[in-house]
Amino acid sequence: MKRRTRLLIAGLAVLAALSCKPSSPEVLPTLTPRPTAPTPSEDVPVSEPAPVPAVETDDGQVRKNLIRSTVQIVALVESGGRLQSLWSGSGTILSPDGLILTNYHVAVGYDSRYRPDELGVAITVRSDEPPEPSYFAQVVAADPHLDLAVIEITTDLDGGPVDRDQLNLNYVSMGDSDLLELGDVVQVLGYPGIGGETITFTEGSVSGFTRERGVDGRAWIKTDATIAGGNSGGLASGVGGRIIGVPTQAGRGDATPEDIADCRPIADTNGDGVINDNDDCVPLGGFINALRPINLAKPLLEAARAGIAPVPTPGPGGGAQISGAARFYNLVFAPDATANDQPTQIVTRLPSGATSVCVFWDYEGMADGMIWEARWYHEGEYLEGASRPAGPWSGGTRGNWWNGLINSDGLPEGTYRVELVVDGASLAEGTISVGGTATDASAITNLAFSDSRAETGRPANAGYLLPSGISAVYAYFDYDNMRDGTPWSRVWFYEGEPIAQGSDTWEGGASGGWWVSLSADEGALEPGSYRLELYVEQALVAASGFTVAGTQAQEAIGPITFASGVDAQGNPVNPGTRFASGLQELRFFCDYAGMQDGMAFDERWLLGGQEIVTFDLTWEWGESGTYDNSIYRTSGDPLSDGQYNLELYVEGQLVQSASATIGSGTPPPTPEPSPEGLYVVGYVYDADTGAGIPGAMFIVLEPGVTIESWDFSDAQVYTGADTGVDGYFELPLPLERGQSYSMIVVAEGYLPFGGDDVPVGNEPSPHEIEIQLQRE
């Protein structure tokens, strides 16, 4: 063989040996197939949508925002280091730092025997997949009477504290539930089943409103949408993707406690390792057709934001403890309720065109937690849209209550019957008819009380709370359609017992003002609660209660003094009305006199005009002395700046108010969702392989900055995002329409790719973009 040839072969052999070193990865990496473009806003199962007027270019973005803001809440118990799920419900994210609104019974439960140890929050990332567990949360503000609660995301899945400022979750902004009208479209999102199910979307329309005592304005929004139980606590949204209500438990017409709460065995209560009918049932979601108006949740949300809401200890709840002793009596009707929860006037008939009717009654032997409802019937037909849904009683043992229905277009004429049902038993019922012209029956209205006597008109201090030490009380009222010669009478009650009465023949003319009085025979009138009932021809036409408290020299509650704390002797520290930022607790002091143990005493705090917390207390501090209380943040952080108002109520009547300012007086602004703009998401692919490029960065520069002129400082960057494992990214900030931005996409080993002044037009949001990068 020729020498050269031998050399050649030798050289080849050496090269062959050299080339066998692994210069490429030995293991063939799994192929990452080109992902199919997802369309998250298209995959939600939707009932036929009502026609939407005018094209909203950002409708897809609104829908996506709603989907991402509706979370699944899972109630968990811990035993032996393991977590077991009890039930699940839905919730709505109301702020990007993790405040979630839901029902009280989803967060805390119905039954005191089954309280969750943890609340898990799962978020829908893709609407065709079940939600992904993402965080743990805790209750920060709750109202069992309204059945609403606000929970706050506290830790991530491995138990580490979450940096709330970095959460940046999708959220919905608050709508105004008072603006809803009959027939308005309502969209409900939530999670109906116990896990494994995707988010569902139901649409319906508003079918009615109800009112009740203890709730200002609309108490319930009824809807004809069929909402499954797990949606409880979820999102009901109106126009523009704003939340207008919270779907809340309700019952069917013939509910028993078990039926209401859809009791199911889902916890291993007998500890045998198996869940079957041998276990006790846990109250759960049933059928829902009512929404709690969002306006009722606003104080809770403010309290949660301010961080100072005390979480009330849950009431006994669950099965009726006192049965048979509950009694409803003195059922009367009135067109409306006064601010003091008294009937405006007692009627037996309403003219056509009346927009509301309320039923009042006294009660005793009740207990918080008993399931009750008010069923209204019109001409024998059950009014689903107007009846008060079954729910837990929260009025205490005895007192008076009212419930009503409203129809701003005027109640349809006919006979209305109301039936009050407690724990499945009908305790009272009454009938009233609507129709005809304004009645010409005698009407007595505006019943109010005062300790001073005026011959014409009424004194300025006429109200429902009188100072103690008075010897006489005068009841002033207006009257219409009275006829001279008609027999009329009045009955005075003290603590529910009649103590005086009188009867006369009317001689005041057809209409005008009148007064009647009650005086103590010796000394002063006893402090306590009174009622006056007025009858015309044996028919009750007016009734109202009033309270005697306080002293002659001084009102029941004296002026309020604010302070930053209390010293060991019980004196205020740094009294004043202006406090520096960083105040830990805001304390107030007030003298009181003539108070009586057992009276209802409410403290209502407002921040920046918004109610943040109300303490409903029963007076137990004796007749006179100095009272003090305070508010502070449960997290230990100082109170936020702002103007705080305190209102004190005795027996439901405002007796004192004062305000104090912390810091500059302006609290930090609540974040509003970004204005309309184009949200950009997309994929970055390798041009040769079609696989996604993880770790690439998509950068958008501030308008006016070109790629050349960019000096790599973060100040010139408008927004940017890193790609995930499949090359997917989402820009966190929207791009302004009509604006042009320079954009670059960089990744290691690829030629950089970008463009200056890319215009943003009318593309629908969210907009998906696909970028291909060339390898070097």
Range 637-696, binding another protein (CB under 8 A): 680, 682, 685-691, 694-695
The interface with another protein within residues 423-462 (CB under 8 A) comprises none
Q: Determine if the peptide bond prior to 766 is cis (ω within 30°).
A: yes
The window from 112-120, 495-503, 605-613, 763-771 that contacts another protein (CB under 8 A) reads: 763-771
Q: 48 or 158, CB closer to another protein?
A: 158
In 263-413, beta strands by DSSP E: 288-293, 327-334, 349-350, 356-364, 371-378, 381-382, 388-392, 399-406
Residue 631 near another protein by CB under 8 A: no
- Of 51, 166, 273, 381, the one binding another protein (CB under 8 A) is 166
Residue 181 near another protein by CB under 8 A: no
Look up residue 254 and give its two tokens. 């013939």
- Of 25, 183, 457, 523, the one binding another protein (CB under 8 A) is 25
- Of 230, 283, 754, 766, the one binding another protein (CB under 8 A) is 754
Look up residue 135 and give its two tokens. 């965080």
Shortest spacing between CB 591 and another protein, in angstroms: 48
In degrees to the nearest 10, what's the CA dihedral of 151, 156, 157, 158?
-130
Phi-psi region of 200 (alpha: psi -120 to 50; beta: other; left: phi over 0): beta
Shortest spacing between CB 680 and another protein, in angstroms: 8
Degrees, nearest 5: CA angle 142-295-361: 80
R_g of the chain computed on alpha carbons: 33
The interface with another protein within residues 40-69 (CB under 8 A) comprises 68
The window from 18-26, 74-82, 486-494, 527-535 that contacts another protein (CB under 8 A) reads: 18-26
- Give the residue from 78, 80, 165, 168 showing the smallest Cα distance to 120: 78
- Give the residue from 455, 453, 451, 445 showing the smallest Cα distance to 464: 451
Residues 6+ apart with CB under 8 A from 572: 561, 562, 563, 565, 566, 587, 589, 628
- Burial string for 733-758 (b: 16+ CB within 10 Å, else e) reads ebbbbebebbbbbbbeebeebbeeee
Shortest spacing between CB 63 and another protein, in angstroms: 15
User: Residue 288's beta-bridge partner residues?
Assistant: 227
- Give the residue from 583, 579, 631 showing the smallest Cα distance to 605: 631
CA distance 434 to 409: 14
Q: Which residue has the tokens 């003319």?
A: 509
The window from 244-252, 443-451, 458-466, 723-731 that contacts another protein (CB under 8 A) reads: 723-731
The interface with another protein within residues 233-272 (CB under 8 A) comprises none
Shortest spacing between CB 723 and another protein, in angstroms: 8
CA distance 331 to 613: 32
In degrees to the nearest 10, what's the CA dihedral of 728, 730, 731, 737?
100
Shortest spacing between CB 131 and another protein, in angstroms: 9
CA distance 258 to 274: 22
- Of 19, 313, 437, 569, the one binding another protein (CB under 8 A) is 19
CA distance 405 to 290: 14
Residue 158 near another protein by CB under 8 A: yes
Phi-psi region of 173 (alpha: psi -120 to 50; beta: other; left: phi over 0): beta
Shortest spacing between CB 151 and another protein, in angstroms: 17
DSSP string, 142-210: EETTTTEEEEEEEEETTSPBP-HHHH------B--GGG--TT-EEEEEE--SSSS---EEEEEEEEEEE
Report which residue type is found at 378: H
The interface with another protein within residues 501-560 (CB under 8 A) comprises none
Residue 748 near another protein by CB under 8 A: yes
CA distance 221 to 326: 28
- Of 327, 724, 739, 764, the one binding another protein (CB under 8 A) is 724
Residue 714 near another protein by CB under 8 A: yes
Element (H, E) at 69: helix 59-69
- Of 81, 636, 669, 761, the one binding another protein (CB under 8 A) is 761
Residue 708 near another protein by CB under 8 A: no
Shortest spacing between CB 760 and another protein, in angstroms: 7
Residue 191 near another protein by CB under 8 A: no
The window from 192-200, 313-321, 336-344, 747-755 that contacts another protein (CB under 8 A) reads: 747-755
- Of 77, 540, 658, 769, the one binding another protein (CB under 8 A) is 769
Grouping H, G, I as helix, E, B as strand and the rest as coil, residue 675 is: coil
Q: 17 or 568, CB closer to another protein?
A: 17
The window from 143-151, 533-541, 611-619, 758-766 that contacts another protein (CB under 8 A) reads: 758-766
Shortest spacing between CB 683 and another protein, in angstroms: 9
DSSP H helices in 199-343: 257-260, 298-306
CA distance 709 to 704: 10
Shortest spacing between CB 360 and another protein, in angstroms: 50
The interface with another protein within residues 87-126 (CB under 8 A) comprises 123, 125
Residue 11 near another protein by CB under 8 A: yes
CB 144 within 8 A of CB 315: yes
- Of 186, 699, 700, 705, the one binding another protein (CB under 8 A) is 699
- Of 1, 29, 165, 570, the one binding another protein (CB under 8 A) is 29
Residue 747 near another protein by CB under 8 A: yes
- Of 1, 31, 460, 568, the one binding another protein (CB under 8 A) is 31
- Give the residue from 163, 213, 552 showing the smallest Cα distance to 388: 213
Grouping H, G, I as helix, E, B as strand and the rest as coil, residue 3 is: helix
Query: Phi, psi at residue 168, to the nearest 5°?
Result: 50, 50
Residue 37 near another protein by CB under 8 A: no
- Of 6, 10, 33, 321, the one binding another protein (CB under 8 A) is 33
Shortest spacing between CB 673 and another protein, in angstroms: 16
Q: 27 or 553, CB closer to another protein?
A: 27
Q: Give the number of residues in contact with another protein, rule: CB under 8 A.
A: 84
Residue 750 near another protein by CB under 8 A: yes
Residue 726 near another protein by CB under 8 A: yes
The window from 54-62, 73-81, 249-257, 712-720 that contacts another protein (CB under 8 A) reads: 712-720
Element (H, E) at 9: helix 3-18
The window from 110-118, 268-276, 372-380, 745-753 that contacts another protein (CB under 8 A) reads: 745-753
Q: 27 or 55, CB closer to another protein?
A: 27
Q: 348 or 772, CB closer to another protein?
A: 772
The window from 9-17, 223-231, 234-242, 411-419 that contacts another protein (CB under 8 A) reads: 9-17
DSSP string, 75-105: EEEEETTEEEEEEEEEEEE-STT-EEEE-HH
The window from 3-11, 144-152, 298-306, 597-605 that contacts another protein (CB under 8 A) reads: 3-11
Residue 398 near another protein by CB under 8 A: no
Residue 763 near another protein by CB under 8 A: yes
The set of long-range contacts for 561-569, using a CB threshold of 8 Å and a minimum separation of 24, is 561/588, 561/589, 561/590, 561/658, 562/586, 562/587, 562/588, 562/646, 562/658, 562/660, 563/587, 563/588, 563/589, 565/630, 566/628, 566/630
Shortest spacing between CB 137 and another protein, in angstroms: 14
Residue 136 near another protein by CB under 8 A: no
- Of 311, 472, 697, 733, the one binding another protein (CB under 8 A) is 697
- Of 46, 179, 322, 751, the one binding another protein (CB under 8 A) is 751
The window from 11-19, 136-144, 246-254, 632-640 that contacts another protein (CB under 8 A) reads: 11-19
Look up residue 263 and give its two tokens. 């009791």
